């Protein structure tokens, strides 16, 4: 049989591009739910709370005031300045507004940065377990992801020595996501500084994805970022997003902070692709960044309660091991003990969990870490309680 799409002649790039593993699972869960099955969806990587009302009001006001025209490809100047000001106030990072490029979410920030930094064959180090989009964005730009494993027995923490071993003549960048999706591991201040020194010495760019920075449950040593920027001013790039911090996943607002030449290159790329995120959405993000911030801490406190519940429930299951997440909103239990000839992979286990217990989770395969499941705790406590009980029953019955 001729494979679908072959008459159309899809590009090699298209043929090599899988749909995001996380999106695949949530689509399967949504289809089940639409057919009337009461699925508990722990696959989703988005806050369950609504966008704060003052942000919605700002977006609506922008529309009512006729802010419905093209915005500049680097974003509206007020928002670029607000992003710079927020990082200055929160972590002492001193970027000028001209060093900020606004994008359609953190995903496009990553995509644009990879397109603008990489030449064919350039290598980018991606610590594993990793968010599925990192290697795809590197490959789409013609680069080659080089995976470095962070081990469960090290708390999934990134070891600078293993990064050093992975460096080669084509290494162009290292992507660090802290707190990490899916493990919740956080890079500590000493490791950040060592990474900065390594980047300076070996001449690669340090790309910091700070999507979950406002969801940290332990000590945060934010002053380290100002020090890093001083060490590698031309090689330090921050990718951020309004999605998780401000419950704005559908607004599609993200940003890149980095050397001015990179911000300009990202804007040039946007000028030939998306132009910019929707203009009114940028005004919403402006309200989020410049308005009251207490909601951010309140939501983090709520996530912490949820983390405590689900982490406690998961490690209480005999045969499961799990690193306590220090940030983000996922637990990443090891389920290798439950694999067998009947359920040979975590992918098969996640499918069975969905079919038997109506629980959607994401198998570790999507994060380059087979044998694990990612369970999102961006869900209400009551739902997590019911879900944890069903997961326990399911695993004990295997
Ligand atoms: N980076 C990480 C690690 C993520 O988990 C996500 C979303 O799941 C993003 C970036 C991008 O999010 P968005 O495109 O909604 O800003």
State the pLDDT at residue 6. Answer: 61
150 with 280, same domain: the answer is: yes
Task: Judge whether 2 lies within some domain.
Answer: no
* Residue at token pair 């084509």: 170
CA-nearest residue, atom 11 of ligand 1 = 106
DSSP for residue 336: G
Specify the pTM: 0.95
**Domain final position from 259, 290, 321:** 290
- Closest ligand 1 atom number to CA of residue 107: 14
30 with 65, same domain: the answer is: no
Question: In which domain, by residue range, is 228 found?
Answer: 53-290
145 with 75, same domain: the answer is: yes
147 with 261, same domain: the answer is: yes
117 with 31, same domain: the answer is: no
Sign of CA dihedral 204, 189, 228, 325: positive
Identify the CATH number of the domain in which residue 35 sits.
Answer: 3.90.1150.10
Q: How many domains does the chain have?
A: 2
Task: Judge whether 4 lies within some domain.
Answer: no
Counting ligand 1 atoms within 8 A of each CB, the residue from 21, 45, 107 with the most, and so the one to mutate, is 107
DSSP for residue 372: B
Sign of CA dihedral 125, 128, 131, 136: positive
163 with 34, same domain: the answer is: no
CA-nearest residue, atom 5 of ligand 1 = 181
Does residue 45 have its Cβ closer than 6 Å to ligand 1? Answer: yes
Q: How far is the CA of 98 from the centre of ligand 1 (A)?
A: 23
301 with 263, same domain: the answer is: no
Task: Judge whether 222 lies within some domain.
Answer: yes
Does residue 188 have its Cβ closer than 6 Å to ligand 1? Answer: no
**Computed over its alpha carbons, how large is the radius of gyration of the chain?**
21
State the pLDDT at residue 348. Answer: 92
101 with 26, same domain: the answer is: no
* Tens digits of pLDDT across the chain (398 residues): 455 556 788 998 888 887 776 677 778 888 888 899 889 999 989 999 999 999 999 999 999 999 999 999 999 999 999 999 999 999 999 999 999 999 999 999 999 999 999 999 999 999 999 999 999 999 999 999 999 999 999 999 999 999 999 999 999 999 999 999 999 999 999 999 999 999 999 999 999 999 999 999 987 777 899 999 999 999 999 999 999 999 999 999 999 999 999 999 999 999 999 999 999 999 999 999 999 999 999 999 999 999 999 999 999 999 999 999 999 999 999 999 999 999 999 999 999 999 999 999 999 999 999 999 999 999 999 999 999 999 999 999 99
């Amino acid at each position: 049989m001729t494979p679908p799409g072959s008459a159309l002649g899809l590009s090699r790039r298209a043929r090599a591009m899988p749909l995001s593993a996380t999106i695949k699972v949530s689509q399967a869960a949504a289809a089940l739910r639409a057919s009337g099955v009461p699925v508990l969806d722990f696959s989703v990587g988005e806050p369950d709370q609504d966008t704060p009302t003052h942000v919605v009001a700002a977006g609506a006001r922008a529309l009512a005031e006729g802010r419905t025209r093209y915005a500049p490809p680097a974003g509206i100047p007020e928002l670029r300045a607000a992003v710079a000001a927020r990082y200055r106030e929160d972590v002492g990072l001193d970027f000028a507004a001209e060093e900020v490029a606004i994008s359609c979410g953190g995903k496009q920030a990553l995509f644009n940065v990879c397109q603008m930094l990489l030449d064919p064959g350039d290598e980018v180090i991606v610590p594993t377990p990793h968010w599925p989009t990192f290697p795809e964005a590197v490959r789409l730009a013609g680069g080659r992801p080089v995976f470095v494993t962070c081990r469960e027995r090290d708390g999934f923490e990134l070891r600078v020595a293993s990064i050093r071993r992975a460096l080669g003549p084509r290494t162009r960048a290292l992507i660090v996501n802290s707190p990490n999706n899916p493990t919740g591991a956080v890079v500590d201040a000493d490791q950040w500084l060592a990474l900065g020194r390594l980047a300076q010495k070996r001449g690669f760019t340090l790309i910091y994805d700070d999507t979950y920075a406002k969801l940290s449950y332990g000590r945060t040593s934010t002053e380290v970022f100002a020090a890093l920027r001083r060490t590698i001013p031309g090689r330090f790039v921050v990718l951020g997003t309004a999605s998780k911090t401000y419950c704005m996943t559908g607004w599609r607002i993200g940003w890149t902070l980095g050397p001015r030449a990179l911000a300009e290159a990202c804007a040039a790329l946007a000028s030939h692709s998306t132009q910019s995120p929707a203009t009114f959405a940028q005004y919403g993000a402006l309200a989020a960044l410049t308005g009251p911030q207490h909601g951010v801490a309140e939501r983090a406190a709520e996530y912490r309660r949820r983390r405590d519940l689900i982490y406690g429930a998961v490690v209480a299951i005999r045969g499961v091991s799990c690193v306590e997440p220090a940030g983000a909103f996922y637990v990443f239990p090891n389920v290798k003990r439950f694999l067998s000839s009947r359920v040979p992979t975590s992918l098969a286990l996640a499918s069975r969990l969905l079919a038997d217990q109506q629980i959607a989770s994401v198998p570790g395969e999507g994060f380059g870490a087979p044998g694990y499941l990612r369970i999102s705790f961006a869900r209400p406590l009551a739902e997590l309680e019911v879900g944890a009980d069903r997961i326990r029953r399911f695993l004990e019955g295997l």
